[in-house]
Structure 1
Amino acid sequence: MAATVNIRRDVRDSFYRYKMPVLLTKIEGKGNGIKTVFPNMADVARALNRPASYPTKYFGCELGAQATFNDDTERYIVNGAHDQNRMRELLDGFIDRFVLCQSCKNPETELLVSRDGYITADCKACGYHGDIDMRHKLTTFISKNPPKKAGKKGKKGAAGADSIAGQPGQVDGVEDEDNDDDELTRKIREGAEKVMTEEEAARLIAEREKADDWAEEDTSPEAMARRMAALGVSADSSLLAGDGDDDDEAAGPYGEFAAWVSEQKGQDANGLSAAELYKEADARGVTKKPHRLLPVLFPALFDEKVNAELPKYLPVLAKLNTSEKTVKALGGGIEKLVEAYPDTIKAVPKILMTLYQADVMDEDAIRHFATHVSKKYVSKDLSKKVRKAADPILQWLDEADSEEEDEESESE
């Protein structure tokens, strides 16, 4: 798997939300038949939300070389031997001209071709709608081969999982928590609306039953503490009573929401959807501080079967993972999971791999997690054991980086 880079390579922030695989090149043939092949162009193009033929054709236009492509076999070629760094610079040019919004510079744009052949870019992030510069040769090709409209369920992302946030290269955390126009929010809302319509009557009945049974439900601090203990979270009456300080994630609404999740999972292991989970979290207001929610949510949501359940809730984790602070909290959630279910320490490498492939955690975040022992969420000894268990993912990342360097050296 190729390493990922920011779609805007001028942005140095390692937590920048828009990612794409590093463009790889391979020289084939000799003499007049020499050509440059792009083995992962399909993945790069999916991350950019553009047909792979567009950047390939762009390279041909810029280099004055013949470009050939086959979407069925995912083989994309430009005649001649071309330096890998040069091709990546040309890709930056393509992104600037045909991917980035000219207003907000985010790559959340869709190309629209009018009947008379004019191309406009529609930005889903800021609402900008403007014309593409029609002077470039590629515009003729785009006009004759307009992009196909994506289906409602979306395409596979660059990492091979469903696009987490539904936006270019976002198989990552969402940085703008208040951006209600992003694709993940739309999907979650659509899912929540379906849940609402399907369970309208059931909810009314449940509310009546809850009102009737309220006196019978044990809401004492001791009962809440027992429910919290099942999550591997220390809880006392003072924590359950109020919102608590900013360092105690088990406090108040966060611990209560985690207890609710645990109860829902206990009642029906397959019944709690990602849309329901996020909708309830948002209704309770706990999504406003995801760095406090994630450490208690992870052990409430998962158990020994974490690797089977994790893909189902990746959209929610991606939505909550908004900053460097929350990615550390997500690591704390993994530690809390191991504390609650010791056998899950064997699953740590696969958990991290799944989060990496979905761009919920990028390479820098995983390396930081796997090498920095912390006693913020669990004991120092347990934190060391979790880091030791993460060694295989570090070795895999080192090997992937080494292979990429070898490919670059061979290309040069």
Structure 2
Amino acid sequence: MAPAAGTVNIRRDVDDKFYRYRMPILLTKIEGKGNGIKTVIPNMSDVAKALTRPATYPTKFFGCELGAQTSFDEKNDRYIVNGAHDATRLRELLDSFIDKFVLCASCKNPETELIIAKSDDIIRDCKACGQRTKVDMRHKLTTFILKNPPKKNGSDDGEDGDDAFTKRFNEDAAALPDASNADTTFETDTSPEAVRARMAALEAGLRNTVLLGDDDDEDGEDANSPYGILGRWLEENRGETNAVEVYKKIQELGIEKKHKTVQIVVQSLFTEDIVTEFEEFAPVFKKLVTGEKHQKSLLGGTERLVGLEHPSLIPAIPKILMAFYQADILDEEVVKQWGTHVSKKYVDRDTSKKVRKASDPFLKWLDEADDDDDEDDDE
């Protein structure tokens, strides 16, 4: 097991306590002497995991930059660069590797995946901003990557990588399964009168949503807009659909990249059991939430669901936010800004104040977690 290490920002040039992308501090250990001296990197696998890259890539990068031989024993978690190299130098080289092979060239976010295009170009596919940027193919490491491609390998036709949800979606979309929750009992009144009443209320809410939405959404307030269609479909199939079906419907409507879609899904799909229900539908949100606007729509939809439809859920806001945060679809800075600034964008001001005030325990937990990280860095 690798020795414990503190953590640093993946982008070490970013001096922001709310920066969410962290990695262990690279450790080194000199072994041997004379011509057999070598530098072992005991926590390379942990560092590489934080960068979502195979540990062999940064190790080989070190060798390319230093003109040194490298060796890997993945089974025993040993990554070695021949020669004696101090930790400071290797950490500087790691910064260079991150800049060249991890960070998105457009938004400088490390949330990227390497894919091999049909042209044998190596592409950084950014899950934060959606841009695809080519790495510098003149670097020697590219030859190694082409010979040892990442396990999650996409194509250059614009499709997502073969992550677990995409794989499941592709397998199930052609022949969608029956309701996965058929044995679950729901207390919702499903009589025709009750359904019609809920539809009317939902459509009114959707119209208000569009009127209150951002200016970059060009779809009108018509209930027959893609958002209105999606909202009605989610309401009608609530409790009788699964993640694959929901995402397929969103794709059919062509609104999988719209941030307002996230809001509609939250307020139309979930019930008072949102914390439990979210576990099943988290993969959908990981697909939909790709930027700050999407996160704000996630919070806006939650605000409407809790503040207007299920006020009894207001005390559960910390649990709901924790579920979003642990699923890695909510950034600290976004939720802190939301929790401390009342707005009437999605609900009336009084309701907004109640919902956001209820988030205080979660925000306090985030602050305490940051303090713990600071103490670890000091040590």
The normalised TM-score by structure 2 is 0.65
Deviation at 1:149, TM superposition (A): 4.9
| Corresponding position of 1:356 | 325
Cα distance change of structure 1 residues 28 and 345 upon mapping to structure 2, 3 Å threshold: farther
Q: Could you tell me which runs of 5 or more consecutive residues in structure 1 were left unpaired when the two chains were aligned.
A: 113-118, 153-165, 168-178, 203-216
1:181 aligned onto 2:158: yes
- Work out whether residues 101 and 121 of structure 1, in 8 Å CA contact, stay in contact via their aligned partners in 2: no
Counterparts of 2:7 and 2:313, CA distance in 1: 27
Counterparts of 2:222 and 2:270, CA distance in 1: 20
1:7-406 paired onto structure 2 within 5 Å = 20-24=21-25, 42=45, 44-56=47-59, 58=61, 82=87, 89-99=92-102, 107-110=112-115, 121=122, 126=132, 131-134=137-140, 142=144, 147=148, 149-150=150-151, 181-183=158-160, 191-199=168-176, 224-227=196-199, 229=201, 233=202, 235=204, 239=207, 245=211, 247=213, 252=223, 253=225, 254-266=227-239, 268=240, 271-273=241-243, 275-287=244-256, 289-291=258-260, 293-339=261-307, 340-406=309-375
Deviation at 1:331, TM superposition (A): 0.8
Deviation at 1:276, TM superposition (A): 1.7
Cα distance change of structure 1 residues 379 and 315 upon mapping to structure 2, 3 Å threshold: same
- Work out whether residues 38 and 75 of structure 1, in 8 Å CA contact, stay in contact via their aligned partners in 2: yes
SS at match of 1:109: strand
Cα distance change of structure 1 residues 97 and 294 upon mapping to structure 2, 3 Å threshold: closer
Counterparts of 1:70 and 1:403, CA distance in 2: 34
The normalised TM-score by structure 1 is 0.60
Deviation at 1:6, TM superposition (A): 6.7
- Work out whether residues 335 and 378 of structure 1, in 8 Å CA contact, stay in contact via their aligned partners in 2: yes
SS at match of 1:308: helix
Deviation at 1:7, TM superposition (A): 6.1
Cα distance change of structure 1 residues 70 and 392 upon mapping to structure 2, 3 Å threshold: farther
Cα deviation per residue 1:348-404 (whole Å; 9 max; x = unaligned)? 223323333333221211211221111222232332232233223322322232233
Cα distance change of structure 1 residues 385 and 181 upon mapping to structure 2, 3 Å threshold: same
Counterparts of 2:257 and 2:115, CA distance in 1: 30
Cα distance change of structure 1 residues 139 and 319 upon mapping to structure 2, 3 Å threshold: closer
| Corresponding position of 2:181 | none
Counterpart residue type for residue 99 of structure 2: D
SS at match of 2:237: helix
Cα distance change of structure 1 residues 59 and 186 upon mapping to structure 2, 3 Å threshold: closer
Deviation at 1:53, TM superposition (A): 4.2
Q: Could you tell me which runs of 5 or more consecutive residues in structure 2 were left unpaired when the two chains were aligned.
A: 34-38, 126-130, 179-190, 215-219
Q: CA RMSD, aligned part only?
A: 5.2
SS at match of 1:319: helix
Q: Name the stretch that deviates more: 372-381 or 97-106.
A: 97-106
**Larger RCO, structures 1/2 (Cα 8 Å, 6+ apart):** 1
Counterparts of 2:94 and 2:296, CA distance in 1: 32
Deviation at 1:37, TM superposition (A): 7.3
- Work out whether residues 278 and 316 of structure 1, in 8 Å CA contact, stay in contact via their aligned partners in 2: yes
Deviation at 1:88, TM superposition (A): 5.2
Cα deviation per residue 1:164-198 (whole Å; 9 max; x = unaligned)? xx99xxxxxxxxxxx97252698776555544432
Identity of aligned residues (%): 37
Counterparts of 1:51 and 1:91, CA distance in 2: 14
Cα deviation per residue 1:210-242 (whole Å; 9 max; x = unaligned)? xxxxxxx97x9x96443354xxx5728x949xx
Counterparts of 1:64 and 1:402, CA distance in 2: 41
Deviation at 1:258, TM superposition (A): 1.7
